[in-house]
Amino acid sequence: MAIDLRSDTVTLPSPRMREAMARAEVGDDVFGEDPTVNALEALVAERTGKEAAVFVASGTMGNLSSLLAHAQRGQEVILGDESHIYHYEAGGASALGGLVFHPVATRADGVMPVEGIAAALRPSADWLAPPGVICVENTHNRCSGAVMAPEYIAAAGELARAHGLPVHLDGARLFNASVALGLPLTAWTDHVTSVQVCLSKGLAAPVGSVVAGPRAFVARARRARKMLGGGMRQAGVLAAAGLVALEDMVERLAEDHEHARLLADGLTRLPGVVLDAARVATNIVVFGLAAGLDSAAFVEALGREGVRIIDLGRGRLRAVTHYGITADDCRTALAACERTLARMTTGTPAA
């Protein structure tokens, strides 16, 4: 079987999740009558220290519902130029919400400096699109799963408050940050208005994310979710897996982080790999290849060796550890990388 390091989204539900899904008590969630969805929403609201929460189909829907709930057509979304919302969410906030993306330069460690955010906040003028919301991401996907320091999020929150703006945290992998630093989610969520957390990444639930924030905001996000077609009726079968994910899978993320470190340390030792292993703090390893080595050809050749990774573009490759990956898988993957690179540098065809 292939060693699939493309993403932690490929994780499969655990046997306990399957059981909970089969047994879940359900009702019509659009009427607010699904007890399992309600339990999941209450639990995430509590863990994030927010008044309320709403279960959504995906991280993308969570972010989009949040942006629609925070900002009006013609307003700007201030966000990192390496952020997931900017790169990988099909421009939904613009296409469906009439919002304008204002990307801010992001450092290699995932931080979009507070001065950069401040400079992006346009003054009031008839000819300028006003800011509507500031977005931050933690952990940072395209920046090697970097963990944002709570102090940084606090500084961004302070700036936003001074300008009367909300902050939305794309916390698709906030649990990874929490496990990496040994801090509760509230270390970050206390400083933002709203947060989206994914259950279907490292936590291995099959489907779903939860958006949390102030009650009035969550009511607007719930309405946006409905507008986007995300009112899911007996969604308790999905929420049940999410509840198990929160119980069984959070502490386990530490293993994924160890495995990512194993991969990163091994990769740095390979000639032809460009990687700052010190950057790897969670379950994502982003690396490049030395000049002259073709990234796309490497991904393809590695795939033929039974190891799957993805190409993020601009010469960046990504490997992600997760529930389905063991330390031995990482060693096997490293050996495959070594063979593939050796062939590429000597121009030897695969046996």
Burial 230-266 (b: 16+ CB within 10 A, else e): bbbebbbbbbbbbbbbbeebbeebebbbebbbbbbeb
Q: What SS3 state is found at 288?
A: strand
CB of 90 to ligand TLP, least distance (A): 10
Residue ranges in 62-91 that form contacts with ligand TLP under rule CB under 6 A: 63, 84, 88
145: contact with ligand TLP by CB under 6 A: no
> Which position among 14, 24, 54, 59 is part of the footprint of ligand TLP (CB under 6 A)?
59
Compute the Cα dihedral for 78, 81, 82, 86 and give only its sign.
positive
137: contact with ligand TLP by CB under 6 A: yes
- How far apart CA 158 and CA 323 sit, in angstroms, is 36
Near ligand TLP by CB under 6 A, which window of 58-66, 102-110, 212-220, 227-235?
A: 58-66
9: contact with ligand TLP by CB under 6 A: yes
Residue with tokens 């529930």, as numbered in its chain: 323
- How far apart CA 84 and CA 63 sit, in angstroms, is 10
CB of 55 to ligand TLP, least distance (A): 13
CB of 4 to ligand TLP, least distance (A): 11
- How far apart CA 317 and CA 299 sit, in angstroms, is 8
**What's at 184, amino acid-wise?**
P
> Which position among 40, 172, 244, 301 is part of the footprint of ligand TLP (CB under 6 A)?
172
CA–centroid distance for 269 within its chain: 28
> Which position among 141, 178, 321, 340 is part of the footprint of ligand TLP (CB under 6 A)?
141
CB of 196 to ligand TLP, least distance (A): 7
CB of 172 to ligand TLP, least distance (A): 3
Residue 88: HSE in the Cβ half-sphere, 13 Å Cα cutoff: 12
60: contact with ligand TLP by CB under 6 A: yes
CB of 139 to ligand TLP, least distance (A): 8
> Which position among 198, 239, 309, 333 is part of the footprint of ligand TLP (CB under 6 A)?
198
- How far apart CA 123 and CA 143 sit, in angstroms, is 30
Near ligand TLP by CB under 6 A, which window of 40-48, 54-62, 157-165, 226-234?
A: 54-62
Which among 178, 188, 308, 349 has a CA at the least distance from the CA of 252? 178
206: contact with ligand TLP by CB under 6 A: no
Binding site residues, ligand TLP, CB under 6 A: 7, 9, 58-60, 63, 84, 88, 137, 141, 170, 172, 198, 200, 209
